Structure 1
């Protein structure tokens, strides 16, 4: 199959809404491809739809890629009080079990990096390796205010099309749930937990990320026993979107390094999309289920 055909097939699989019952709750997820399993876990307030520029290309490269909506976000119900990081990891482990998934490479973004680290440490048998993109977890009091300000500043550094989409996702989640989830994550011991993870890990951070400074991402990589740091030039906090091609390539390179890419991984392509006034990709038209239908 030619690369363009593989990407088209993966994109058509990705747009299908799928659900599985987990402890009495219908969890929505995206899935595409076949091969070694990669699980993408969205950041605070977002959903599986956020991986639109990563799921299909990685699937087209010879991977089975899945992305769930965590409880309370996207189209999965959850308590208004929000979940702690430990509770999110427990919910993610239950989803793994409901899906009967083999151990997978787990990819987190922002706050969900804490979730997948917790999953690897406290729920063995689910994760094979970790990719942490723009990991949060700085518990210092001065960083709390700076992080909130950083989220606001980040909106000026992202593609224009991403700003209203993120705003809509946050409103869907509910600002109270968003804040409580963020606040509870500030009480999670990321570094103590990371020290208990014996798995290979890749930490990625954007050079221009105002939420997660490069120095903090470096400290996370140093806390993990078997990790390395990669800084993506010119990228901001939404590195999975505004530097998607580099991000996807970094994941595939990491899978090759760790032996989790399968016998013959394919080449990567990025879904083409219109450019906005900042010269970056546009999410395109949002479908009825919240997923961009422009590839």
Structure 2
């Protein structure tokens, strides 16, 4: 077993800024060694990795996390958001700030973006860690049965309306509603702290946040994980909170089956954890990541 410290007395993450296509992008990094790039999920930010970055850095890695355009402390311009837009952001960030084969680590939408980087830009990657990887930015129409397909169509129209969309967004972003949503996706209620709620609430007050929300919810779903996996050429660790109602572990069968036939793919459930096990059960997730990195001799000098 690889020894790992517990994420107590967590050091503060240093905010750093990078200009991309005229927009300010927030990122952070800690430690020295070959790089790991951590990518958050929908509505989150670099702070969602606060229990992981110090542990990875202390183990001899250069742990870098970035706020996707439209989220966290990054700019929130009124654009058509898509997975392809963020993929370009990550590619350009890698070219300017990293320039070395990288292990991409992502949760939820960040997991799908990590998979896109592995499949579409294999020359950048040494490995990948997917944590409750999303199947798409949004549901594909064929994935929804009637009447849910109709309901979602109406909902996306409301979200895109300046008047009704603003009303809906202002209700959704209220702190008590954020906390209620977190109780759906975190199995361990003690992990739902005021710090976590504030971290998710604060960016929603930024200018342009409502327009980002509407654009993301009406964006195309993006590439399918099964298609991307065909092009992955490096070691892959897949972790999944087994109590996740948003991306249930039943939907992870493609990764479980792959792990049975491909020695470069590992799959482990995180027991009694929800959609964000890296935050809910960081000790276990950090342990799996460090063991994977050590076993594969990835990213460490």
TM beyond 0.5 = yes
What residue is the counterpart of 1:257 in the other structure?
295
What residue is the counterpart of 2:108 in the other structure?
110
Whether the 8 Å contact between 1:217 and 1:229 is mirrored in structure 2 is no
Deviations 1:189-230 (A, max 9, x none): 222122211111111111211111112123245468642211
Query: Structure 2 vs 1, CA of residues 208 and 166 (structure 1 numbering), >3 Å: closer, same or farther?
Result: farther
Q: For residue 218 of structure 1, give the secondary structure of its aligned residue in structure 2.
A: helix
Query: Structure 2 vs 1, CA of residues 50 and 109 (structure 1 numbering), >3 Å: closer, same or farther?
Result: same
- Structure-2-length-normalised TM-score: 0.74
Give the Cα separation in 2 of the matches to 1:72 and 1:198.
30
Segments of structure 2 that go 5 or more residues without pairing to the other structure are 156-179
Pick aligned residue for 1:55 from 49, 53, 56 = 53
- Greater RCO structure (CA 8 Å; 6+ sep): 2
Segments of structure 1 that go 5 or more residues without pairing to the other structure are 264-295
2:255 is aligned with 1:217: no
The 5 Å alignment of 1:1-295 reads 12=11, 14-137=12-135, 139=140, 140-142=143-145, 153-154=184-185, 158=189, 159-161=191-193, 164-165=197-198, 167-168=200-201, 171-172=204-205, 174-184=209-219, 186-222=221-257, 226-260=264-298, 262=300
Give the Cα separation in 2 of the matches to 1:68 and 1:157.
26
Q: For residue 117 of structure 1, give the secondary structure of its aligned residue in structure 2.
A: helix
Alpha-carbon RMSD: 3.2
Give the Cα separation in 1 of the matches to 2:286 and 2:128.
14
When Rg is computed on C-alpha atoms for both structures, the one with the higher figure is: 2
Give the Cα separation in 2 of the matches to 1:220 and 1:166.
31
Q: How far did 1:89 drift?
A: 0.9
Q: How many residue pairs are counted as aligned between the two chains?
A: 256
Whether the 8 Å contact between 1:90 and 1:119 is mirrored in structure 2 is no
- Structure-1-length-normalised TM-score: 0.76
Deviations 1:13-67 (A, max 9, x none): x522111223333321111111121111111111111111000111111111000
Give the Cα separation in 2 of the matches to 1:84 and 1:31.
25
Give the Cα separation in 2 of the matches to 1:185 and 1:114.
14
- The runs of 4+ residues in structure 1 deviating greater than 3 Å are 78-82, 142-146, 148-152, 155-158, 220-226
Give the Cα separation in 2 of the matches to 1:180 and 1:151.
22
What residue is the counterpart of 1:284 in the other structure?
none
Of Structure 1 and Structure 2, the greater helix share is in 2
